Amino acid sequence: MSTTDPGAGALYPLGLRVRGRAVVVVGGGPVAARRARGLLEAGALVTVVAPQVCPQMADLLAGVADADHLPRAYAGGDLADAWLVHTATGDPAVDARVAADAEAGRTFCVTAGDAGADGGGTAWVPAVARVALDEPSGPAEVVVAVNGGRDPGRARRVRDAVAAQLASGELPLRAVRPVARTGPGRVALVGGGPGADGLVTARGRALIARADVVVVDRLAPRGLLADLADDVLVVDVGKRPGHHPVPQEEIDATLVRHALAGRDVVRLKGGDPYVFGRGGEELAACRAHGIEVEVVPGVTSAVSVPAAAGIPVTHRGLSRGFTVLTGHEDVGRVPPASDHTVVLLMGVSRLAESADALVAAGRAPETPVAVVEDGYGPRQRTTVGTLATIAAVASGAGVRAPAVVVVGDVVRLSPAWPGTRTGTRRDVEFRP
């Protein structure tokens, strides 16, 4: 392959530091303005050569100390001190002359519209994505440059897709080289949503991708752990009903210990950190030791799991509000109005007691109830009944945690409720 062949493999990708170095832009139109803006943002000393400039270029040059404008046509000698030249005049003959002068002066040249034909420029501008990073040693960024093989549109599409994956944490951004740190690490309390990997927020996923330590709950989206690097420490503090092998005080101490050792820690929870997630306690424990904490909200299972079963917690004409409680609290204090939905988390073990308490507080025994198991998980199932029957129905169906209990007329909207459209195979037949 000839060294001038613009085909595959002919380009040597390279990033240039142009801060404080002279760069010439020939042309005053919108394309030249975009090139000049990028160069100025990179710190270059820019000289624009053009008889006239467009409004964008005029605005850019106004009051900028590092930019000069020569209001005339290009002339020989304009590239004498330049490290790099961009030519975008719209006149192929002028652009070719600039490229030839740059070649003779051993100055790299970017020619607008040049797809790589012989006689054109010697450099190309890729589509660039920049992702800002808040590293322990200070602000940094990851720069991704894409050359589309003579197709700028393709390069932009690839660039945008890569940038989105970097920002969401789908691609690794965690530093590999050891980073000098003068203080403690940081802790992020990340709500992982109801358990499905795709329901964590983009911010949460990005923090997980950069973490040194991940302290994870049983109901968190554990599929995300498979993407972590081998040297990321995963601490499992999962709890099961009646079995809490790691007390909350020890979880707090774990977060503090790793952060004080200079590590960035993610506390990955199911649902939302502040909806029965004890996030407030963990925040207080970290702040008591001077540790910076970020709280990333998650999609709470109190709303999302009923939605997965086709049940809105509020609905025009059926429910004007809702209350979320754990199954271990006095549900009899909830307003008994028929247009008020009750959502019980961790309520399977005391389902009978909760149903009786709601009836005793004024709810009709015929009030619809749904128990949604393993929302968004492989064994998601909806069991329906009434306050009078749900305990027996759930027991007969073998309902088990994790599950969310929904009480109220909105349950009638579930596909599992009699009279609605046929439910899925995951729905349990209603028994009055």
List residues with catalytic annotation: 217, 239
CB atoms closer than 10 angstroms to residue 248: 14
What angle, 0 to 180 degrees and rounded to 10, lies between the N-to-C axes of helices 390-397 and 351-360? Answer: 170
Q: 331: Cβ–Cβ under 8 A, 6 or more apart, which residues?
A: 325, 342, 344, 354, 357, 358, 361
Q: Read off the DSSP letter of residue 14.
A: -
What angle, 0 to 180 degrees and rounded to 10, lies between the N-to-C axes of helices 248-260 and 279-287? Answer: 40
Please say whether the beta carbons of 299 and 191 come within 8 A: yes
| Cα 234 to Cα 216: distance, rounded to the nearest angstrom | 7
Task: Measure Cα distances from 336 to 358, 388, 389 in Å.
Answer: 7, 15, 18
| Cα 161 to Cα 227: distance, rounded to the nearest angstrom | 19
Terminal-residue alpha carbon distance, the chain: 80
Q: 159: Cβ–Cβ under 8 A, 6 or more apart, which residues?
A: 126, 127, 128, 129, 144, 146
Task: Check whether the bond before 365 is cis (ω within 30° of 0).
Answer: no
Please say whether the beta carbons of 185 and 261 come within 8 A: yes
DSSP, residue by residue, 236-302: E---BTTB-SS-HHHHHHHHHHHHHTT--EEEEESB-TTSSS-HHHHHHHHHTTT--EEEE----HH
Helix (H, G, I), strand (E, B) or coil at 190: strand
Please say whether the beta carbons of 53 and 35 come within 8 A: no
DSSP, residue by residue, 352-392: HHHHHHHHHTT--TT-EEEEEESTTSTT-EEEEEETTTHHH
